[in-house]
Structure 1
Amino acid sequence: MTYLSFREYVMGAAKIGIGLGVVSILARWVTGNTIFGSPEALVKYGIFGGIGFALMGAFALSAFGFLGRRVRREFSEGMTIGDYMRGKLHPFGYWLMIIILLITTVEGMFVQGMAGGVLLNILFGLPIPLGLLCFFIFCVLFAGIGGIRSIHRFAIVQIVITFAAAILIPVYFFVGKGVEHVYNGLRLYHPYLLVLNNYEGLFFIITGLLIGFGQVFVDQASWQRLYMMEEKKVVPTFLLSGLIFATVPLSFSSLIIIVIFTGGFDDIYSLLFDLVRKIDTMFLLILFVLCSFGAIMSAFGAGLHSMISLMVNNVYQLFRPYATERQKIRLSYTLAIAIGALSFCLTLYFQPTLLDLLFFFGIIYASLFLPVIVIVLTKGKAHNFILISAVIGLAAGYGSRVFVDNMKAIWIASSSTALTLLAYLCVTWLWKHYFRSPERTE
């Protein structure tokens, strides 16, 4: 696909409206983690697991719309989150943010790659290494080489298929099996899923909100879509995206109920295998397969494309300011292949569960949530210490994992960042209003 400029490769040729904006955002956030992670959370935390996944995305996307409106008013001509941060941070803070953003993007692609490999193994019996290789090759061609036009065209088809699957498959099973029959089966075999005073499940919801805000607020693909829209359409687009997104985790969580109401299970992967076997209608099976692959590839593609955009526009261009458009686009294609190969190697070597990954990297997101807000709300350049507070939170969170569970470690990370930020803001306020006041000077 030929692009005349690097900006066109990143942003497209024209601004997008609310309709395409919502589709593009949903295609980014209806991911393999949404489809396979929410059922895993349901099994582990009961009904609050699926609810937690729904709320974390809905509230985070809605809130990002209001933050994004301020970003657009302050800096309207950017393409990436790096463009904005370059204007708001000093050099040390800027490069620290770039490093953190690259780490979080690799994590996002790692999650999608793992989900893709597992899905190919379940559906077609392909060895996971071969499935991963096929998955990454396709994603590099479709997103890394195809650019934003290819991503948007694929997003429209993917969202139609996703919501068709999210509506038709649960309705087919619940009507066929009977809602009362399913409910009685859950009460008999898995009554813990229906417990309402499940405090661990409630804690998961609160922790999920914290992770969700961090994920969305530092997501490079979401910032790119923010700059693709007209300013007045930013808030309604993200609000609508959040409301629609909330329905997806709930729908796919209900699919697992269809499997477990008849007895026990070994692990989450055996549940997915049983789900595929229980979809006895060819049309619905094809719909589920297309939906799952579409969500995974769309999310990976958005992450890959946004990472390429950041590296070329906010790293390479600083060292090669006179690079031609042709050179930047050629580098984009090279990076697509290199990042795809790196993601393949990481996914092949590490194989944790999706929920484990959510908690592990949740420490990063929980530590970044407040600093990003403070940076956006700060007038002029933000002090480097604002980002250093996130690093302090990261150190506290990962250090505490030796002594506490994953969710408590996330809160330790967030609390450490918040207390450090609060101390910094208090000292700054006292210095400005007391120690440097005219009366004090006299």
Structure 2
Amino acid sequence: MQYQSFREYVQGAAKIGIGVGVISILARWVTGNTIFASPEALVKYGIFGGIGYALMGAIALMSFGWLGKRVRKELAEGQTIGDFFQVKLHRLGYWMMIAILLIISIEGMFVQGMAAGVLTNILFGIPISIGMLCFFLCCVLYVGFGGIVLIHRLAFVQVIFMFTAAILLPLYFFIERGVEHVYQGIRLYHPYLLVLNNHEGLFFIVTGLLIGFGQVFIDQASWQRLYMIEEKKIVPTFLLSGLIWATVPLAFSSLIMIVIFTGGFHNIYSLLYDLIRKIDTVFLLVLFVLCSFGAIISAFGAGLHSMISLIVGNVYPYFNPGADEKQKMRMGYMIAIVIGVLSFALTYYFTPTLLELLLFFGIIYAALIVPVLAIVLYKGKTDNFVPLSALIGMASGYASWYKVGNLDAVWVSMMVSSLLVMMHLGSKLLKKQLGNH
């Protein structure tokens, strides 16, 4: 697809409204994690796991609308989160945040690559590594050369398949098996899923909210969509997106109940295999496959496109200040290929579950919540100590991870970074007050 400029490749030719904005945001956030990790959360933490997963994304997306409104008032014509950080941070702080953004971007694509490899293995018996290779080649071609226009076109198709599957699959299974029959089977084989005073499940909900806030607030693709949407429509677009998104993980979590109500299981991947075996209608099976692959490709595509936009728009100019539009576009294509190869290499050598990955990288997301809020809300440039606080919080979280576990480490990370930021801003305010006297 031919673009006249790199800005058009990043944002398209015109601002988008609520309808296209909601579709674009949903296509970004209904991912392989939504389809595969939400059922895993249900199995691990009970009914609160499925609810917590739905809440973590929904509330974060709704909150981001108000944060985004503030961002657009301060920098109306930006393209990426990097543009905003250039205005709000000093040079050292800016490069610290860029480094964090690049790490997070690779993690996001790593997750989608794993989901794609697992799905092709379950469906077609193809080795995971080969499935991932085909997936990455497909994504690099369509995103690297298609840009935002092609991403939005796929988003429409993906959202149609997603909601059709989310409505028809649970409806078909629960009517066929009987809701009461499913409920009695879960009470017999997995009664822990229905425990209401499950403290670990409740802890997962509040921890999930932290991860969700950090994940959305620092997500490059969400910031790009923030700059694509008409300014007056930012808040309603993200509010509506959050409300709609919450229904998707709940729908896919409910599907797992169809598998486990008849007995035990080995692991989350065996559950997915059993689920696909139970879809005995060709139409529904094709629908599930299209929905799953559509979600994974769309999420990976949004992540890859935003990373290309960040590197070419905010990093490349420092090394080649006089680059013209053709050079920028060429660099974008090269970066797409390099990122695809790197993502494939990572997914080839590491194979954790998707929920484990979410909680592990949740330490990074939680550490970023208060620093990002401080950067957005602080008037003028923010001191380098604010992004440094995020790095210290991450280090503290990972240092404590081996002793306290995933969920507690997320809180350690958030509390350390938040305390450092508040102490720093409090000391600045105190100095200002003393100086006035």
Q: TM-score scaled to structure 1, two decimals?
A: 0.98
Please name the residue that 2:194 is paired with. 194
Deviations 1:311-356 (A, max 9, x none): 0000002222221101100111111011000000000011101111
Other-structure match for 2:255: 255
Query: C-alpha distance in 2, partners of 1:402/1:331?
Result: 40
Residue 275 of structure 1 deviates from its aligned partner by: 0.3
Distance across 1 between alignment mates of 2:42 and 2:261: 13
Give the corresponding residue for 1:96.
96
Q: Which residue of 1 aligns with 2:158?
A: 158
Instruction: Detail structure 1 runs of 4+ shifted over 2 Å in the superposition.
Output: none
Matched, 1:221 2:221: yes
Identify which range, 253-262 or 317-326, moves more after superposition. Answer: 317-326
User: Which residue number in structure 1 is paired with residue 355 of structure 2?
Assistant: 355
**Aligned-partner Cα distance in 1 for 2:43–2:105:** 27
| Other-structure match for 1:122 | 122
Query: Which residue number corresponds to residue 302 of structure 1?
Result: 302
For residues 153 and 362 of structure 1, the distance between their equivalents in structure 2, rounded to whole angstroms, comes to 31
Summarize deviations over 1:240-289 as a string: whole Å, max 9, x none: 00000000000000000000001100000000000000000000000000
Match of 2:68 in 1: 68
Aligned to 1:387: 387
Deviations for 1:194-241, whole angstroms, at most 9, x for unmatched residues? 000000000000000000000000000000000001110000000000
Could you say which residue in structure 1 is the equivalent of 2:142? 142
* 2:366 corresponds to 1:366: yes
Is 1:18 matched up with 2:18? yes
Task: Kindly state the Cα deviation for residue 378 of structure 1 after the two structures are TM-superposed.
Answer: 0.5
Quick one: distance in 2 between partners of 1:129 and 1:213?
Answer: 32
What does residue 46 of structure 2 align with? 46
Worse-superposed segment, 321-330 or 289-298:
321-330
Secondary structure, aligned partner of 1:255: helix
Counterpart position of 2:375: 375
Residues 94-121 of structure 1 show CA distances to partners (whole Å, capped at 9, x for unaligned) of 0000000000010000000000000000
Q: Matched residues in 1 for 2:116 and 2:235: separation? A: 32
Aligned equivalents of 2:128, 2:89: Cα separation in 1: 42
What is the CA distance between 1:426 and its match in structure 2? 1.6
1:240 is aligned to 240
Which range is displaced more, 150-159 or 320-329?
Answer: 320-329
The gaps in structure 2 that reach 5 residues or longer are: none
Post-superposition shift, 1:423? 1.1
SS of residue matched to 2:402: coil
- CA distance in 2 between partners of 1:87 and 1:422 (Å): 22
Matches within 5 A, 1:284-363: 284-363=284-363
Give, in angstroms, the shift of residue 127 of structure 1: 0.5
Q: Secondary structure at the match of 1:146?
A: helix
Question: Which whole-Å CA distance do the structure 2 matches of 1:401 and 1:9 have between them?
Answer: 40
Quote the offset at 1:47 in angstroms. 0.5
2:178 matched to which residue of 1?
178
Equivalents in 2 of 1:73, 1:316: separation in Å?
A: 26
Gaps of 5+ in 1: none
Alignment of 1:403 with 2:403, yes or no, is: yes
In structure 2, the partner of 1:8 is 8
1:86 — aligned with what? Answer: 86
Separation of aligned partners in 2, 1:236 and 1:321: 38
The residue aligned with 2:208 is 208
Distance in 1 between the 2:108 and 2:117 partners?
15
Taking the aligned partners of 2:419 and 2:226, their CA distance within structure 1 comes to 30
Instruction: Tell me how far apart the structure 1 counterparts of residues 189 and 237 of structure 2 sit (CA, whole Å).
Output: 42
Give 2:284's aligned amino acid.
L
- CA offsets per residue over residues 404-424 of structure 1, 9 Å max, x none? 111001101111111111211
1: CA distance, partners of 2:170 / 2:67: 35
Secondary structure of the corresponding residue to residue 4 of structure 1: coil
Aligned to 2:416: 416
Q: TM-score, normalised by structure 2?
A: 0.99
Q: Give the letter aligned to residue 10 of structure 1.
A: V
Q: Which residue of 1 aligns with 2:266?
A: 266
Query: Could you tell me how far 1:402 is from its partner in structure 2?
Result: 2.1
**C-alpha distance in structure 2 between counterparts of 1:199 and 1:402, whole Å:** 21
In the alignment, the residues of structure 1 paired with residue 116 and residue 91 of structure 2 have an alpha-carbon distance, to the nearest angstrom, of: 38
Counterpart-to-counterpart distance in 1, 2:174 and 2:421: 49
1: CA distance, partners of 2:168 / 2:180: 19
Aligned partners of 1:144 and 1:262: how far apart in 2?
A: 45
Structure 2 distance, partners of 1:378, 1:205, is 29
Which amino acid letter does the alignment assign opposite residue 320 of structure 2?
Answer: R
- Tell me the SS of whatever aligns to 1:401: helix
How much is the aligned-residue C-alpha RMSD, in angstroms? 0.6
